[in-house]
Amino acid sequence: MSDAELLALSAAGALAAIAAGELAGGEVFDAYLKRARGDHEAGVDGLNCFTWVARGPADDGSSERGDSPALAGLPLAVKDLFCTEGVPSQSGSRILEGYLPPYTATAVSRLTAAGAGLLAKTNQDEFAMGSSNENSAFGPVLNPWDRERVPGGSSGGSAAAVAAGLAPWALGTDTGGSIRQPAALCGIVGMKPTYGLVSRYGMIAFASSLDQAGPLTRDVTDAALLLSHMVGQDPCDATSLASPEPIRTPFGESLAGVRLGVPDELTGEGIEAGVMESFNGALDSARELGAEVERVKLPHAPHALSAYYVLAPAECSSNLARYDGVRYGLRAEAADDLLQMYTRTRHDGFGAEVRRRIMLGTYALSSGYYDAYYGRAQRVRTKIAEDFRHVFGGVDFVVTPTSPTVAFKLGERTADPLSMYYSDYCTVPMSLAGIPALSMPCGLSEGLPVGFQISGPAFSENRLLDAARALERALAFDGGAARV
Amino acid sequence: MIDRDEVLHVARLARLALSEEEIETMARELSAVLDHVARIAELDLSNTPPTSHVVELTGALRPDVPRPCLPRELALAQAPSVADGGFLVPSPQA
């Protein structure tokens, strides 16, 4: 099989070819290794997707292979913030530069046990705080559709690598949209599962009540396949849950009898005209497949961003207290005493956005402000979850555009934190409610991909993937143009 | 509006050094975000309980069985400075 034919295959397609004896798993790894190394070594002439790339299949960090290698040695790109034993895991931060963890995250070790090979670690916003990948200590990632634009964030390296065909699939994490928004901006599929479905053990923490790992893939079938090997309860994460049923291959062809709710609050003002046009086109396709589309109300959704920008920074300020220059990572030299060592290390090691969020979170949790900010935000969170529960009494799924805009230009939003935060307007409500949501490409606007978001009740992953698969067949989006 | 003194107070709580220029920028940016966030004060939340966890979760504790812990040399391997089998830090009092 030629490299071009191999590159045209989805991960599931490659597995089918391996099963049919047309291809060996090692060939797939080698082909992607060459491509990933090429981007990594190109420096500023590449997309800057990776912070580390394997030297060869033997260097994949997966010494404990399972007996039945379901994933047949297929290469996997992993967001930098997943700990991988002996392989740099730096969460896009200077404060963790060169950090080699002594253990591997459960999500990653489950996948390598299923036969995946670690191909590369992907660039990301520092500690997953950002929506453009411009907050990385390793420099920005470029969008393969247009190199003057951002890939989205915080899983920007994972999204760009999959879109550009530098990895067949990748792991990301989503706190307020960090899988779905970059998937949308890069024209691929990204899924945030129900909170707790995938263990957080070994994920370098940002906001623990929201962080969730998930797949970034070329299509819906690959998303289901990758997720199926990640889920499950883990004694090392007390918030992880047993999946009520295995994640299976989606087989949706029709949407007959499926009710889709379109919330007024997330499809009105502030959504770019081209994005709405593409979104409405996808709704027409859904109707043709038999879906019933109706307007619904999520009255508290407009307050989700406000609640999120209290809760996520509050949890971040607590989680990031561990970076003190004592046990690992950067230490500022020439401090007079212990306190000065702490404060200088943290100043030098954290980037501007991380410092801002630590300050915001510390303020919101400080004496005299706790009830007004954190306490109220946790009540807004209850309201948002109630809104979804109410809506899911009448419809199967809530659908929205994933991102209010297509990929924006590098530097366009860095000067104004609020304009950057607004990128997550349509994705944050689902994060606060802990429910699963998937972004899939639904078309182009001005030559750039538009994402269509489908979310369902907790643990509705299989139904949600079926619906997404049916819609995907009808939309027939072709992302081949982004492959470099 | 967050003033300079408040920024310095919060930075002290967060163990974060800030340059003069950064104090000014931080005051401006935190104020902008907090103004936005303050919109949740408009909502009537008097009868709404705070969310403590998003999904039903019971019996999350695992059996309390001793397991091997991280070996000392591995725990110290990534430290910027070590001495006598422990982490070496500057004195708390200069």
For residue B48, being part of any structural domain is answered with no
**Looking at per-residue confidence, does A472 or B41 come out higher?**
A472
Residue A78 pLDDT greater than 80, yes or no = yes
User: Which residues 64-83 of B are in CB contact (within 8 Å) with A?
Assistant: 70, 74-75, 77-81
With CB atoms and an 8 Å threshold, state whether B92 touches A338.
yes
Q: What is the dihedral of CA B77, B78, B82, B85, to 10 degrees?
A: -40
- Interface check for B55 against chain A (CB to CB < 8 A): the answer is yes
> Residue A443 is which amino acid?
G
Which of A58-72, A140-154, A211-225, A310-324 has the weakest average pLDDT? A58-72
Q: Which residue blocks in A191-293 are alpha helix, DSSP H?
A: 220-228, 273-288
Rounded Cα distance, A3 and B10, in Å: 55
- pTM (2 decimals)? 0.96
User: pLDDT band at A67, cuts 50/70/90?
Assistant: very low
Q: Which of A178, A199, A278, A285 is catalytic?
A: A178
Give the residue carrying structure tokens 């919330």.
Answer: A263
Digit-coded pLDDT (tens) for A333-391 = 889 999 999 999 999 999 999 999 999 999 999 999 999 999 999 999 999 999 999 99
Domains of chain A, residue spans: 3-254+457-482, 302-377
| Assembly ipTM | 0.95
Q: How many CB pairs under 8 A join A and B?
A: 169
| Closest Cα in chain A, distance from residue B40 (Å) | 6
Residue A63 pLDDT greater than 80, yes or no = no
Q: Are A51 and A123 in contact (CB under 8 A)?
A: yes
With CB atoms and an 8 Å threshold, state whether B7 touches A359.
yes
CA angle A133, A434, A369 (to 5 degrees): 80
Residue A246 pLDDT greater than 60, yes or no = yes
What lies within 8 Å, CB to CB, of A290 at 6+ separation is: A254, A255, A256, A257, A258
Between the alpha carbon of residue A123 and those of residues A42, A84, A109, A112, the distances in Å are 15, 15, 20, 20
Q: What is the CATH number of domain A3-254+457-482?
A: 3.90.1300.10
Digit-coded pLDDT (tens) for A410-468 = 999 998 889 999 999 999 999 999 999 999 999 999 999 999 999 999 999 999 999 99
What average pLDDT does this structure show over A69-88? 96
DSSP per-residue letters across B17-67: ---HHHHHHHHHHHHHHHHHHGGGGGS--TT-PPPS-SS-----PPP----
User: pLDDT band at B94, cuts 50/70/90?
Assistant: low
Query: Which of chain B's residues have a Cβ under 8 Å away from the Cβ of A356?
Result: 26, 29-30, 33
**Looking at per-residue confidence, does A1 or A179 come out higher?**
A179
Residue A68 pLDDT greater than 60, yes or no = no
For residue B21, being part of any structural domain is answered with yes
| Beta-bridge mates of residue A192 | A437
- Interface check for A254 against chain B (CB to CB < 8 A): the answer is no
With CB atoms and an 8 Å threshold, state whether B55 touches A195.
yes
- Is A34 noted as a catalytic residue in this protein? no
Give the pLDDT confidence score for residue A1 in this predicted structure.
Answer: 86
Digit-coded pLDDT (tens) for A26-57 = 999 999 999 999 999 998 899 999 999 999 87
Residue B93 pLDDT greater than 90, yes or no = no
Q: Which of A154, A240, A285, A445 is catalytic?
A: A154
Select the residue of A309, A343, A366 nearest B16 (Cβ to Cβ).
A343
- Is A154 noted as a catalytic residue in this protein? yes
Which of B28, B37, B46 is the best substitution to test chain A (most A C-beta atoms within 10 A)?
B37
- Is A79 noted as a catalytic residue in this protein? yes
Which of B24, B67, B89 is the best substitution to test chain A (most A C-beta atoms within 10 A)?
B89
Between the alpha carbon of residue B64 and those of residues A106, A232, B61, the distances in Å are 20, 20, 8
Q: What's the CATH code of the domain at B9?
A: 1.10.20.60
| DSSP secondary structure letter of residue A371 | I
Query: Domain of B23?
Result: 1-43
| Closest Cα in chain B, distance from residue A3 (Å) | 40
With CB atoms and an 8 Å threshold, state whether B29 touches A417.
yes
% chain A with pLDDT above 70: 98
With CB atoms and an 8 Å threshold, state whether B87 touches A347.
no
User: pLDDT band at A62, cuts 50/70/90?
Assistant: very low
Rounded Cα distance, A305 and A428, in Å: 6
With CB atoms and an 8 Å threshold, state whether A306 touches B40.
yes
With CB atoms and an 8 Å threshold, state whether B34 touches A360.
yes
Digit-coded pLDDT (tens) for B26-61 = 999 999 999 999 889 889 999 999 998 888 777 677
Query: Which of chain A's residues have a Cβ under 8 Å away from the Cβ of B14?
Result: 317, 346, 358-359, 362
Query: Which of chain B's residues have a Cβ under 8 Å away from the Cβ of A347?
Result: 16-18
- Total domains present in chain B: 1
| Closest Cα in chain A, distance from residue B3 (Å) | 12
With CB atoms and an 8 Å threshold, state whether A377 touches B40.
yes
With CB atoms and an 8 Å threshold, state whether A359 touches B14.
yes
| Beta-bridge mates of residue A174 | A212
Give the pLDDT confidence score for residue A65 in this predicted structure.
Answer: 42
What average pLDDT does this structure show over A154-165? 98
